[in-house]
Chains A and B, each alone.
Chain A
Amino acid sequence: MSAADLAWRLAFNRFGLGARPGSRPLSGDPREALLSELAAPGGAKLDRSDLPSTPQILQEVYADELRRKMERQAEAATRRPAPDMPAPNEAAPIVAGPTAAPAPSGSAVAASMTSSEPAAAASMTPTREPRPEEKFFRADAQARLEQACSAPIGFLERLVAFWSNHFCVSAAKGNIGRAAAGAFEREAIRPFVVGRFADMLAAVERHPVMLNFLDNAQSVGPDSKAGRNRKVGLNENLAREILELHTMGVGSGYSQGDVAALARIITGWTFAGREGKLGEPGTFVFNAAAHEPGEDSLLGRVYAQDGVAQGEAAFADLAREGATATHVARKFARHFVADSPDPGLTRRLAEAFRDKDGDLGALARALVADEAAWSAPPTKIRNPWELTVAAYRAFARSPSDVLPALNALNLLGMPLWRPAGPNGFSDDSSDWASPEGVKMRVELAAQFARQVKDAPQPLALVEDILGPGASAATREAVARAESQEQAYALLILSPEFQRR
């Protein structure tokens, strides 16, 4: 394989979300192509009129919650239990439905056999209107998948996924989390992936979904007006994760005292609820009544500002901490290049971050420019999101129905916007290449291949997607497959497709 071929494969796989049929250029410099995607106007923004803002989303959720509460009360009065609908994302069948709209007679067949197994599989999904949180979750998931599938190389979308995981929230944290996890990414992550780290940090830590996820909305300064009145107090959750996960990293020199100080500094950072006592429902508000008064010392620096300015100043300093640069650089190199990246690469990325005052575009460009990012062998396993998107792209599958992709992500252990904890999904290959993980990849690839339509001949697709560097073993396996379907499954499961 020529050096140029290898570089193109790395551009698509290590930096991007995989080649699409016909997208692999015959000439040109892959580094330039990556840089030009970074420089695209609008960057990674996802501004669509059909995707509402967080306040709009939360207001609809609040209204629905109120309506259901009233219904429950009304029903309790008549002593009937309220029906509960499963979250459609969980309940949706993994197998795609009929390949064509079933004829009315077909539905009649299914309906006439309600007790039998086929009828269960053939039955249609419930026609009830989904709850708002489900509707918004799906709309944002859909938009994310579409954006990922249509990106030229996908470097920007990879940056979105990286930073979204770095500053993760959870769609399992109440209706707010489910409804607005996507909006959080749109509003607090996407605008800054080639912008400044300090700006992303500031946007993230004041976003209602983050304040809800890590409980800061409920945190009250003990000596604040609310704290004195109501016997409620500090919640350190967000402050701890800001230091441990979002900025400096664990073991980087901050103390428990610093955690408590930061927690006090950001007391009063909350969002307005349904009744709108503090402001427009669903918007960030600084609640002075919950804010711990007075100055605080964090990492040896004194913050004496009033109100929200105190926290903003603290965040600005945290973004410039040397430990933050190192922490971010290590995660960045680990995500893109190797589980144990070349220390030189990590050091150079940290320098780029520091020298450019946390310019994340500069950080991404430094990665592209670094020879170590291109010379490392492709040992990383694509995580489930990358794998799913790469499969959609390779087979030009329409992302118009996000449910199969969401289900694949669930089965592969990476449910969208729903990591197990605030540390996000693992970036360690061994976690994804686990025995059950690999077995599930085989099952899903087999299923995906069964659903492939109108794809080029398998060997042509190998050439196009894996490039001229596909191994003889992979080519042979695909060429000898007993059916196109099996050939497509083998393509997806080949080491060249699984690793990057």
Chain B
Amino acid sequence: MPRSFAPFLSRRALLGAAGVAFVSATIPRWASAAGSRDPRLVVLILRGALDGLSATAPIGDPDYAALHGQLALQWDGDHPALRLGDFFGLNPAMVNFARLYAAKQALIVHATATNYRERSHFDGQDVLESGMATPGRVESGWLNRAVAALPKGERVAAAGALAVGATAPLVLRGPAPILGWAPSGLTPPTDDLVQRLMDLYRHADPALATALQAGLDADAMANKRGMDSLKPGGDVALAMRKAAEGAARLMSADDGPRIGALAVDGWDTHANEGGATGRLAQLLGGLDGVFAAFESELGPRWKDTVVVAITEFGRTARINGTTGTDHGTATVAFLAGGAVAGGRVVADWPGLKTADLYEERDLKPTTDLRAVLKGVLADHLGLSADTLARTVFPDSLGVRPMSGLIAA
């Protein structure tokens, strides 16, 4: 049974003594990174805003079940949540993550958000990936600037960073060299895009709706013949896993890239989100497969690896009229890898009473996501707090890197 953290204490327990002492704490880490340790870092951008309360449910919070209604995870029933202690339960689709958590190679930061407080996907992703305090037209991302800030010739910087997909996500764009890789062939459009398009065509262009539906039906038949074992919607999970496996193989090479980034769409669950099963659970299952793929493909490199999954913001605490959730604020971040000091949920839990909710609707952010990311970059890659506050996450001097995320 994984060790349980009292959710009201954990963040303070972690951050309590960080502060000024932190800068010097990074120096020995840097020395070791340059020596035998050979760190790898993968950033997964979950586009569309992940419902943190369905991914990692505060089942122990007395207000959760009522707010999240039909979507709420439970300790019992046909699809019980995976226990992360007495308070939080992990979505049952994430069995690999639960296993890593038990092995202290995975942790979750809850009630976290960037400093962005509006609810536009585009602006939220811009802030999440650019690392800037406000959305703008900055054409570089924090991960690229982090690589660019490493000393010249350093192993991580020398091999460049790997962008998985047809184009580099913003988080990885910038001055440092990028190596691109995409799974071969056409990446199928996400089910979500197709669904939205069908809705649009049904309203605005029935002829195109009919044609598209017929095309999809033909496709489904072809897929059924070719891939009997796949569940409906399972192709998304397969595509995610395939991308992760390919990326991990590239990154496992001695001279391969040490840094990678991958964006996954489809998290905007306004309707029929599902809880322990359903659409979101399928996506979480896909994400779970990504963690597993990196673990298995990186082999001996896994022990020096951190995989971080982050999203632009969370979703409403209360479900809406279409059994989904709308754009919200705080959510979760997932960290997994042999280098993660895992086995815990890091959260300064804000509570779910109406007065505790952000604008009386969203989980209130109590941990700045930038602190988490800065903590990883500092302790895993050896970047100084000064560099992190000036070039990687500009204007974030007041946001201290969270310490203790990386295993010593």
Contacts and interface: CB of A to CB of B under 8 A. Distances in A.
B355 interface: no
A9 B188 CA distance: 31
B97 to A, nearest CB: 23
Nearest to B242: A117
Contacts of B215: 434-440
Given A481-B121, A490-B197, A454 B181 contact: no
Interface string A471-492: 1011001001111111101100
A109 B255 contact: yes
Contact of B193 (A120, A435, A451, A490): A490
Given A447-B186, A482-B121, A106 B200 contact: no
Interface string B198-209: 011101110110
Please give me the 10 A-B residue pairs with the lowest Cβ-Cβ distance, nearest first. A482-B268, A439-B215, A98-B180, A482-B48, A106-B179, A435-B215, A446-B189, A435-B214, A495-B205, A118-B246
A486 B193 contact: yes
Contact of A477 (B158, B179, B199): B199
Given A105-B158, A109-B253, A474-B204, A482 B166 contact: no
B63 to A, nearest CB: 27
A3 interface: no
Contacts of B267: 482
Given A99-B167, A102-B180, A489 B193 contact: yes
Interface of B: 47-49, 121-122, 125, 139, 158-160, 162-163, 165-168, 173, 177-190, 192-194, 196-197, 199-201, 203-205, 207-208, 211-219, 246-247, 249-250, 253, 255-257, 265-268, 270
Contact of A483 (B122, B200, B218): B122
B255 A105 contact: yes
B186 A97 contact: no
Interface of A: 93-103, 105-106, 108-110, 112-113, 116-118, 120-122, 433-440, 442-443, 445-447, 450-454, 457-458, 471, 473-474, 477, 480-487, 489-490, 493-495, 498-499
Contacts of A121: 181-184, 246
A242 B208 CA distance: 36
B21 to A, nearest CB: 36
A1 to B, nearest CB: 14
Nearest to B206: A495
19 contacts: A95-B187, A98-B178, A99-B178, A101-B177, A103-B159, A109-B253, A118-B250, A121-B182, A434-B211, A435-B215, A436-B215, A439-B216, A442-B189, A442-B197, A443-B189, A446-B193, A483-B47, A484-B122, A490-B193
Contacts of A436: 215, 218
Contact of B265 (A94, A433, A438, A482): A482
Contact of A99 (B163, B199, B203, B246): B163
Contact of B186 (A98, A443, A486, A494): A443
Contact of A443 (B173, B188, B211): B188
B250 A482 contact: no
Given A106-B159, A438-B211, A446-B187, 13 more contacts: A98-B181, A99-B167, A100-B177, A101-B177, A102-B177, A118-B246, A121-B184, A438-B212, A439-B219, A450-B166, A458-B122, A477-B199, A486-B265
A256 B201 CA distance: 48
Contacts of B49: 482
B242 to A, nearest CB: 8
Contacts of A499: 205
Contacts of B211: 433-435, 437-438
A265 B125 CA distance: 69
A441 B159 CA distance: 37
B160 A105 contact: yes
